[in-house]
Structure 1
Amino acid sequence: MAHITLLDGGMGQELLRRSAREVSPMWSADIMLNEPQLVCDLHSDFIAAGARVITLNTYTATPPRLKREHQLNELQKLHDLANQAALTAVAQSGQSNVRIAACLPPLVASYHPEMSLSYAESLSYYRQLAELQNPASDLFICETMSSILEASAASAAALETGKPVWIALSVCDDNQQLLRSGETLKSAIEELDALGVEAIVLNCSQPEAITHSWPVLKKSAKQIGAYANGFTSIEELYPGDTVEVLNARKDLGPQKYAKHAMKWVQNGASIIGGCCEIGPLHIKALRDALIQSGYCCD
């Protein structure tokens, strides 16, 4: 029986739906500071839905983003709270096989690799984040990487911890064999395969874009997988904006999302989950579909 690692879904959008706070550019970091119980509860809901890897709620807690919002002094606190929320959710779940993934995201802005820092600056920041997240983490996911530079710097810092490292690349929704930097997915996989990471997956792109990119991803020598988003488009989001400018698709309910994801599983994916706008109900539907198809979820 094939084993599939089932991830959680997106934290940020789901937290904003559950919170009564005004949306801010700090996004999920604001909720981490002010409503940490919401974060713990969402982790718990994903675990109950079947996820066996949950990701720390640190996506927007990078030094460059916090500097922009004049909140750099909260860096340590944000990571301590995120570590504790995930550890508490795992402990309360009663499940012995739930792993916690550290999150190394784009340092400045999602989907805008032109805003990236130099490799040396990026590596320094990623080492700082890796040190903060390492105590609670079983593995590292370098996620929503939109350029080879971002992915290389993040994975280099993560690999220094000695823990498993997964690289999650974001592809263009309208030119699916390109990263959002314009670099080809083919060249990215060729370079990243040589870094010693455990897996290369696609994330935070539309499911249709991931499906079209699959023939290229399958050429990787690593484990492969995917976790898509449920946005209609990401074109309106710019650095410093709030996520209110993004809209959720109305045609991507739990069953529909599971159908997309099962295509990836049937074509070699061993790591599956969801990204922005993919909630616990989507993960439950995906788990049910996996079990019904004879897969073992862990």
Structure 2
Amino acid sequence: MTDITLLDGGMGQELIRRNGQPATPLWSTQMLIDRPELVSEVHLAFADAGASVATTNSYALHRDRLRGGSSNHYASDDVVLPDMEDQLGALLGAALDAAEPVRDRGRIAGAIGPLGASYRADLHPDEAAAVPLYAEVAQVLAPRVDLLLFETIPSVMAARACLSAGRQTGRPVWLSFTVDDTEGDRLRSGERLAEVVEVAAAADAALVNCSAPEAMPAALDALAPAGVPMGAYANAFATLTKDFIAGGATAASLSARRDMGPEAYADHVMGWVAQGATIVGGCCETGPAHIAEIARRLRAAGHAIV
């Protein structure tokens, strides 16, 4: 019936499960140093489940997140982060290397997370400062990926910065926004999602991620006027706690929803497809079993995974 792009699921939480160690502020980054083979293992697991796009483990690779000392938002009185800013290029290379085992299994998306901190539009630098920081990462990823996926974009200004940086590379640019968990038509900044439609219309795809599954229908309705391929990949967190959004916490402070197993999550996904979404997958707390169930349901409904 329809060609559907099936993204993978949540890399960070899957790494925590497979590594068996508590999460730290650098958990997904640390795996690129300590156990890069585990990152490849997760990529392969998602590909085996049916994902047609592998998302590089580069979401957290920004200068501000790798900077040591108190200037790093993820530092606290009892967490002293090492200064790894000079390793940015090497870590991006490691993330790309880890995705190589699935190179022949589909497309590779170069993941670029938000500057500052996830969900925190107030910590995002202004557009003039943000564009070169995003562009630096995008230009390292671009030669070895099929597209650039800017994720968890919290504001209109951040979206403009991501699009501007991505367009410097010649690679397709997908913009993925994070929305309020109860008001899916509102960005984390408080701005209406409709305010970002003009920016989204200039991208190659517009998506919503790392928000509650229940918020996605309203978000997709708000994005539809952009007129570009759209999609969604939700998280399965029990809650996005105020402490986590305020920062200084790690994924260890979050838990998975008991009511959002593969079958329940796939129910949501098929609803998004019925709304016109052609790019779907999973975010945090969705694993290979979730992707496998989505793949099964898509094929059963007559869709082709591309």
In structure 2, what is the equivalent of residue 209 of structure 1? 215
> Residue 225 of structure 2 aligns to a residue in which SS?
coil
Offset from partner CA, 1:183-202 (integer Å, 9 cap, x none):
10111113432xx3111111
State the alpha-carbon separation in 2 of the partners of residues 215 and 116 from structure 1: 26
State the alpha-carbon separation in 2 of the partners of residues 182 and 25 from structure 1: 26
Q: What is the 5 A alignment of 1:216-227?
A: 216-227=222-233
State the alpha-carbon separation in 2 of the partners of residues 37 and 147 from structure 1: 35
In structure 2, what is the equivalent of residue 197 of structure 1? 203
State the alpha-carbon separation in 1 of the partners of residues 207 and 23 from structure 2: 30
In structure 2, what is the equivalent of residue 104 of structure 1? 112
**TM-score of the pair, normalised by structure 1:** 0.94
1:66 aligns with 2:66: yes
Q: Is the 8 A contact 1:4 1:272 kept in 2?
A: yes
Give the stretch that moved more between structures: 22-31 or 76-85. Answer: 22-31
State the alpha-carbon separation in 2 of the partners of residues 176 and 100 from structure 1: 28
| Percentage of matched positions with identical amino acids | 39
1:76 aligns with 2:82: no
Q: What is the 5 A alignment of 1:186-265?
A: 186-193=194-201, 196-235=202-241, 236-237=243-244, 238-265=246-273
**TM-score of the pair, normalised by structure 2:** 0.92
- Residue ranges of structure 1 left out of the alignment (5+ in a row): none
> Residue 66 of structure 2 aligns to a residue in which SS?
helix
In structure 1, what is the equivalent of residue 9 of structure 2? 9
State the alpha-carbon separation in 1 of the partners of residues 260 and 295 from structure 2: 16
Give the stretch that moved more between structures: 69-78 or 149-158. Answer: 69-78
Offset from partner CA, 1:37-74 (integer Å, 9 cap, x none):
00000000001111011111011111101012322122
Q: What is the 5 A alignment of 1:47-196?
A: 47-67=47-67, 68=72, 69=81, 70-91=83-104, 95=105, 98-193=106-201, 196=202
> Residue 121 of structure 1 aligns to a residue in which SS?
helix
Amino acid in structure 2 at the alignment position of 1:54: A
> Residue 219 of structure 1 aligns to a residue in which SS?
helix
In structure 1, what is the equivalent of residue 77 of structure 2? none
State the alpha-carbon separation in 2 of the partners of residues 246 and 21 from structure 1: 15
- Residue ranges of structure 2 left out of the alignment (5+ in a row): 73-80
Offset from partner CA, 1:246-266 (integer Å, 9 cap, x none):
111010000111110000101
Q: CA deviation at 1:149?
A: 1.2
Offset from partner CA, 1:168-224 (integer Å, 9 cap, x none):
01110122211000110111113432xx31111111100001123332222221111
Q: CA deviation at 1:22?
A: 4.1
Equivalent pairs, count: 291
